[in-house]
Amino acid sequence: MKIHEILEDLSIATIVLTRVPINNFFSINQDIDIHRGQWAYPFIGALIGFLLFLLIILFESMGISRQISTLIALSGGLCLTGALHEDGVADFFDSLGGQDYAKRQKILKDSTLGTYGTLALVIAILLKFFLISGLESWTALACGLIACSSLGRFSILILVNYCDLSKQAGLMRHLKKVTNKTIFLCGIFCMVWFLPVGLLAIIITIIIGYTFVYLFMKIIVPFNRGLSGDILGLSVVFVEILSLIIFTISFS
């Protein structure tokens, strides 16, 4: 793969996963298939986690407490991604109020936020906040944020590869399955950030990760009658929280 192709793939992944106006900095061919940037999702995720780490360092160096710095960084992360994945969490939990598939789909298309979705978002954000605040050392904080963010985006590749798409898939219908080599290499990249927590934690993470994906494939995806953007968003947030839990337990 040539350098300009790599840059284009990274740019496409950035456009899909964030709200960064990448077209203002690079000239992107509008005819490029959106799936070309899929391999770069974990790398963009790692970059997002690193930026959150830098924000926390910046505000702590100004004398602001870790808790407030973490809250500011999380807010910055939501602005950076446009709360793309959190929207999936809210939509999915709101849809649980539907008695059948048709009603659930109607709820998913509704732009308003319901009680279930609001509670799910509050709980997810609070969990992230307290888990990140519990990573006291700089090493734990940096690796924890990078690992959870990259692994969360890596879950997108796994689910797209092994699940059938929903008829309501929307823009994600453009995503395609990647090669096993890509899955393997991206998986290694994500697990590198777990090295500070030790081999046992890495093994536990892999076991929990595969269990989580299996449950998603067997329960959540069939419940939705196929994979959709909301399910992918739900997966990203859940994997991020699970990763942070493992980091917090390991370093404490």
Question: Around Cβ 230, how many Cβ atoms within 10 Å?
Answer: 25
- 8-39 residue pLDDT tens: 888 888 888 998 887 655 555 555 666 778 99
- 128-146 residue pLDDT tens: 999 999 998 999 999 999 9
pLDDT at 198: 85
Q: Name residue 165's beta-bridge partners.
A: 227
pLDDT at 226: 82
Residue ranges covered by each domain of the chain: 3-26+33-251
137 is written with which tokens? 């050392």
